Amino acid sequence: MEKLILFYKAKFMHNFLNDKLPLSFAETWKKNRERNLNVNLRNADDLYVPPHRIEVVKRLPLCSFPSTWNAVPDFKVNPALKKFVVDMKSHLQ
């Protein structure tokens, strides 16, 4: 069940990053390089996960979706959804 949740979170974030979701999600998550920091970060291509002090906040979509996406291996750069789904399924097995 947990792998299924991870799969659908990653699929949702793939659609988000490839602009396949409605406009209401347009600026929900940003990459670290888009945060207007004057520092070169090694994880500049990762999505920004807002800081949180309460454990419950970590499970909310605003925090859990980008952290799930950041944990996906390097095949996530593939813009084709079908190829991403096949790679993600084989990764989770």
Domain that holds residue 45: 2-92
What domain count does the chain have?
1
Residue 56: its pLDDT value, please? 92
The answer to whether the beta carbons of residues 65 and 83 sit under 8 Å apart is: no
* Rounded mean pLDDT, 20-25: 92
Residue 85: its pLDDT value, please? 92
CA distances from 73 to 7, 23, 40 (A): 12, 27, 22
Q: What is the pLDDT of residues 35-90, one digit of tens each?
A: 777 777 777 788 889 888 898 988 999 999 999 999 988 887 878 899 999 999 99
Half-sphere exposure of 24 (CA within 13 A, CB side): 1
CA-CA-CA-CA torsion sign (92, 79, 75, 46): negative
The reported pTM is: 0.85
Q: How many residues does the structure list for the chain? A: 93
Measured CA to CA, the distance from residue 90 to residue 35 in angstroms comes to: 33
